[in-house]
Amino acid sequence: MKDNKPKKKSDYGKSIAISTSLHALLIVALIWGADFTMSKPEQTGQMVQAVVIDPAVVKQQAQQIRSQREAAAKKEQDRLDKLRRESEQLEKNRKAEEERIRKLKEQQAKEAKAAREAEKQRVQKEKERQAEEARARKEKERAAKAEAERKAKEEAVKKAEQERLAKEAAIAKAEQERIAREKAAKEAEEKARREREAAEKAEKDRIAKEKAAKEAAEKARKEKERLQRLERERKEQEAALNDIFAGLETEADQNSAARNQFINDELARMSSIYTQNIQQRLIKDDYLLGKECRVNIKLIPTGSDMLVSGVTVLGGDSRVCAAAKSAIAQVGSFPKSAEASVNEKLKDINLTVALD
């Protein structure tokens, strides 16, 4: 609506200018026609001379003049009719322009009224919009307040739930601590019981070891006596063999058999000594009784004894075998035989170690 007002004002100015120009042109034309019709005949300064005038000529000239005047009068009348028509047309145009201007003003008034009405509606709508915005703002504030209250309630419920969970956790923790204390007390009691039992077992083991040591010492003494007896018997056998060999020097086969028997007996005797030396160093334990282990021992002859160079387990109880290997390592070296052939066989010897 605002954009059409400058254009309409321009149309009004243009119409008024055209109407004014047409009226001015009509006035000028009228004045101009008046000048032509109202001009006075000029007087000449010639003197009139009497002449003979031919009536026919005069009549002809009069006719000519009348024709010229009629033509001039007709021309002037045509000009005046034309000016009248133009004036009437200009008047019609003026009235039409005035009507158009009136209608335009009415249209402008209607448009202005419509614009005022539209502005009034716009203002009303703006007020309604502002009122709606205010209502929406209040509603939003109310909703925000309600949301804040809801969140506050949720936070309070959440806090109460957290406090409840914290209390439950504290109770559970206290219960766990009580159970842990009871468990620790039981474990401490069990540990004290195990330590007491271990101390009792250690005491029993000490007594058993002392008893085993005494038994081993007694056994060693008896073994020593047995070895001495075996040595005497060996010497007696050797003396007897010497006697036999002295009496049977020519009987090579018998001597060879006797020699082999002697070597075998000597090898068995040395094996028995080796086994006794190992068993004396075994740790006696009830769970090892009745179990045995078979081992292979590699020995290296030295100047006075046989030095252990290696031990291989051939089979038997694993715990007895472990104890046997430890005992062999403790022995380190074994006595040599007086017979070189026996010592040769002792370089790679298999023994069975058992706990009785």
Whether residue 299 is found in the same domain as residue 238: no
pLDDT digits (tens), the chain, 356 positions = 555 555 555 555 666 666 667 666 666 555 555 444 444 445 555 454 555 667 888 888 889 998 999 999 999 999 999 998 988 898 888 889 889 988 988 888 888 888 888 888 888 888 888 888 888 888 888 888 889 889 988 888 889 899 899 888 988 898 898 898 888 888 878 887 888 888 787 778 778 777 777 777 787 788 888 888 888 888 887 777 777 766 666 566 666 777 888 889 999 999 999 999 998 888 777 777 888 899 999 999 988 889 999 999 999 999 999 989 999 999 888 998 888 888 898 899 999 988 76
274 in a structural domain:
no
From residue 163, alpha-carbon distances to 173, 174, 190 in Å are 15, 16, 39
Q: Residue with structure tokens 């000239």?
A: 61
Q: Residue with structure tokens 């005949």?
A: 41
Whether residue 208 is found in the same domain as residue 320: no
Whose CA is closest to 89, among 26, 141, 177, 42? 26
Range of the domain at 333: 282-355
342 near 263, Cβ under 8 Å? Answer: yes
Sign of the CA dihedral with 279 first, then 280, 284, and 289 last: positive
Domains held by the chain: number: 2
Whose CA is closest to 111, among 3, 16, 15? 3
Whose CA is closest to 219, among 293, 272, 291, 265? 272
334 near 305, Cβ under 8 Å? Answer: yes
CA end-to-end span of the chain: 131
Whether residue 345 is found in the same domain as residue 236: no
Whether residue 201 is found in the same domain as residue 345: no
Q: Residue with structure tokens 């047409």?
A: 22
Domain end (from 226, 247, 268) = 247
Whether residue 232 is found in the same domain as residue 286: no
- Cα maximum dimension of the chain: 240
4 in a structural domain:
no
Q: How many CB atoms lie within 10 A of CB 323?
A: 23
